[in-house]
A and B are shown apart, each in its own frame.
Chain A
Amino acid sequence: MHPSLIKLLFIFMTALLGMPAAFADVALPSVDEKYVSVQEINPTRDAGYVVGDVLDRTITLNIKKPYELVKESLPIVGYEHRWKGQISGIELVNITTEEHKHSDSVTHVLHLSYQVFTTSRTAKPAALRGEIIKLRDTGNREVVQYRIPSFNFRVSPLSVYGQVVLKDELSPFHPPLLLDSSKEKRYVQILAGLLGLSLLGLLYILGMHAWLPRMGAPFAKAYRDIRKMPDDTAGIQQAVARVHQSLNKTAGSSVFSNNIEHFLQTKPAFIPMKDDLKQFFDLSRRVFFEPQISIDTNEKPKAWLLTFCRHLRDCERGLNPYAGA
Chain B
Amino acid sequence: MSDHQLADWRQHALTLETEVNKVVVGQANPVRLITTAIFARGHVLLEGDVGVGKTTLLRAFTRAIGGGYQRIEGTIDLMPNDLVYHTYLGEDGKPHVSPGPLLMSGENLSVFFFNEINRARPQVHSLMLRVMAERTLTAFNKEHYFPHMLVFADRNQVEKEETFDIPSAARDRFMMEIPIVVPTDPDIMESLVFNTRFHDVDALVETIAKDVLQFDQLNTFAAKLQDSISASPTLRKYTLDLWRATRSPTDYGIKVSGVDMKRLVLSGASPRGMAMLLRAARVNAWLNDRDAVLPDDIHAVFHETIAHRVVFSPVYEMRRTEIAREMLSGIVNAIAAP
Contacts and interface: CB of A to CB of B under 8 A. Distances in A.
B147 interface: no
Contacts of B267: none
B334 A288 contact: no
Interface residues of A, number: 18
26 contacts: A237-B338, A240-B338, A241-B338, A244-B337, A244-B338, A248-B336, A253-B333, A253-B334, A254-B334, A254-B335, A256-B337, A257-B294, A257-B296, A258-B296, A285-B294, A288-B232, A288-B234, A288-B235, A289-B234, A289-B235, A289-B292, A289-B294, A290-B232, A290-B292, A292-B230, A292-B291
Nearest to B300: A258
Interface in A284-325: 284-285, 288-292
Interface string A217-255: 000000000000000000001001100110010000110
B293 A289 contact: yes
Interface residues of B, number: 19
B325 interface: no
Given A289-B293, A290-B292, A292-B292, A254 B230 contact: no
B295 A256 contact: yes
B117 to A, nearest CB: 32
Interface string B278-295: 000000000000111111
B254 to A, nearest CB: 11
A-B complex: 4 closest residue pairs judged by Cβ atoms: A253-B333, A288-B234, A290-B292, A258-B296
Given A244-B338, A253-B334, A291 B232 contact: yes
A254 B332 CA distance: 7
Interface in B109-157: none
B199 interface: no
Interface string B316-335: 00000000000000001111
B336 A245 contact: yes
Given A289-B232, A289-B235, A254 B336 contact: yes
Contacts of A253: 333-334
B197 interface: no
Nearest to B292: A290
A243 to B, nearest CB: 10
A284 B337 CA distance: 10
Nearest to B293: A289
Contact of A288 (B230, B296, B338): B338
A4 B290 CA distance: 159
A290 B235 CA distance: 10
A34 B288 CA distance: 113
B299 interface: yes
A257 B293 CA distance: 13
Which of B230, B234, B235, B293 neighbours the largest number of chain A CB atoms within 10 Å of its CB? B234
Contacts of B290: 290
A291 B292 CA distance: 9
A288 B338 CA distance: 7
B102 to A, nearest CB: 40
Contacts of A288: 232, 234-235, 337-338
A68 B299 CA distance: 108
A241 B292 CA distance: 19
A291 B295 CA distance: 15
Nearest to B235: A289
A245 B337 CA distance: 9
A254 B333 contact: yes
